[in-house]
Amino acid sequence: MTYKQVTDSCFAPGQLDKADFAALKSQALKALDELRAEEKAGKLPIISLARETADLAEINQFAANIKQNFETLVVLGTGGSSLCGHALTGFKQGNFSTAKPKVVFMQNIDPATFSEFFATNDIKKTAFLTISKSGNSIETIAQFLVCLELAKSLDIKKHFFSITMPGDNPLRRISAKHNIKTYDHDPNVGGRFSILSLVGLMPGVTSGVDAAKLRKGAWEFYTNLAEQAAEAAALHISFMRQSIWHNVLMTYPDRLEDLNIWYRQIWAESIGKNGTGSTPIKAMGTIDQHSQMQLFLAGRKDKFYNFITLKTTDSKFKIPKAGEPEFDYLSGKSLGDLINAEQKATIETLVNNKRPVRAIELPKLDDEEMGMLIMHLMLETIITAKLLGVNPFDQPAVEEGKRRTCEYMRKNG
């Protein structure tokens, strides 16, 4: 089995017309060709990063330092500055991981969370990585200043590190005052698309990701399978034209939950402009089979269902005989057998109820497959935005909220 996208149900009776779709797919493939020309000309670093190797030594050196000297790495940041790294560490460090160092993301500014962290962690064994592309994100600067104050008894330059754009900005100036090593964030790489850069990889490698293999998988998808992303983009547009304005992504492996959250950002912030764009909905099997499936099957037919499935092999967790006749069929089966059945049954149920479904089938989930999946989702998002006629790389609507926040803080000062 190889990495595969399955779209057959999208062309079942009552769904898409193949002839109409062919014309739209042709436009999507043309948009992909334009992206390839931009990448070849050095104008699309979010893609070119997949074949970059020169920065890996610096990334690996950072991770080695954290592993050797600290028990915890706290990542300070919000939005893409946090979600990119979280997607990768979630892939490597599950909820019950005892691996050291543990990578923790302070994605919010809730004081209760900060209080809990500092009450339960040894700050002497903690490193802090502050990430802000602009260097002036109010939430990130506030987090940074609070942590600096709480850690003032330590050797700051050994415990703190920063990532921001080159040039003059508040994060770089504050870091310089404390002799904090600051790494350069490429100005041409948008925060939400920085997952293959040091923004995603410094936390990711610290948690165990092999950066070279991750990028290898991403480049493999780009060079050999990118047409699948173009096809998916054409599907999204086709269903939007049928007034299907919700994009459900259901992932089954627990290790993909944080990737799903990252995808929600890149889709919403790249597509949602000029009064258009579908709403991303995060779902997880099997929990959301019990919490959202009633809506998916019997609610409004305004959703396009996208699955990421994994063929799970499991020889460890066999289900013993229950002693209850109605569960005899489980005896000798495994949890892996059950999750495989759940994936298949859920997809078939949606298809039988005439809901449009696309599935990405993973043969395994390692660093290279993760890289392929990341590139797939990024390209799909960018091409969809281009077909909608919107800029996939800006986020103008976000700025008003930032401005008002600053105004309220100044008034209450």
For residue 29, is it within any domain?
Answer: yes
Q: Dihedral of the CA atoms 317, 327, 289, 291 (nearest 10)?
A: -110
Task: Give the residue numbers spanning the domain of 62.
Answer: 47-209
What pLDDT does residue 123 have?
Answer: 96
Q: Which of 149, 152, 290, 316 is catalytic?
A: 290
Q: Dihedral of the CA atoms 93, 95, 99, 105 (nearest 10)?
A: 70
Structural domain total, the chain? 2
**Which tokens hold the place of 51?**
């074949």
**Which tokens hold the place of 299?**
């609610």
Q: Which of 40, 124, 157, 402 is catalytic?
A: 402
172 and 224, same domain (yes or no) = no
222 and 190, same domain (yes or no) = no
Q: What angle do CA 231, 233, 234 make, to 5 degrees?
A: 65
User: Annotated catalytic, 354?
Assistant: no
Q: How far lies 179's CA from each of 52, 159, 161, 410, in Å?
A: 29, 11, 9, 29
32 and 161, same domain (yes or no) = no
> 0.85 exceeded by the pTM?
yes
**Which strand (E) or helix (H) includes residue 38?**
helix 18-40
What pLDDT does residue 142 have?
Answer: 97
What pLDDT does residue 406 have?
Answer: 79
CA dist 191 and 133 (Å) reads 7
254 and 290, same domain (yes or no) = yes
For residue 163, is it within any domain?
Answer: yes
The rounded average pLDDT for each run of 10 residues, N- to C-terminus, in the chain (413 residues) is 92 93 97 98 96 97 98 97 98 90 96 96 97 95 97 97 97 98 96 97 98 98 98 98 97 96 98 96 95 96 97 90 89 93 96 97 97 98 98 84 79 69
- Please state whether the peptide bond connecting residue 101 to the residue before it is cis, i.e. omega within 30 degrees of 0: yes
For residue 397, is it within any domain?
Answer: no
Q: Which of 139, 257, 269, 369 is catalytic?
A: 269
For residue 368, is it within any domain?
Answer: yes
What pLDDT does residue 44 have?
Answer: 96
User: Annotated catalytic, 269?
Assistant: yes
* 3-class SS of residue 359: strand
Where a domain ends, among 186, 209, 232? 209
What pLDDT does residue 97 have?
Answer: 87
What pLDDT does residue 397 have?
Answer: 78
DSSP string, 371-412: HHHHHHHHHHHHHHHHHHT--TT--TTHHHHHHHHHHHHHHT
79 CB burial (10 A radius; 0-12, 13-18, 19+): buried
Q: What is the separation of C-alpha 22 from the centre of its chain, rounded to a whole number of angstroms?
A: 30
For residue 27, is it within any domain?
Answer: yes
CA dist 124 and 352 (Å) reads 57
For residue 42, is it within any domain?
Answer: no
What pLDDT does residue 241 have?
Answer: 96
What pLDDT does residue 1 have?
Answer: 63
**Which tokens hold the place of 74?**
């706290």
For residue 180, is it within any domain?
Answer: yes
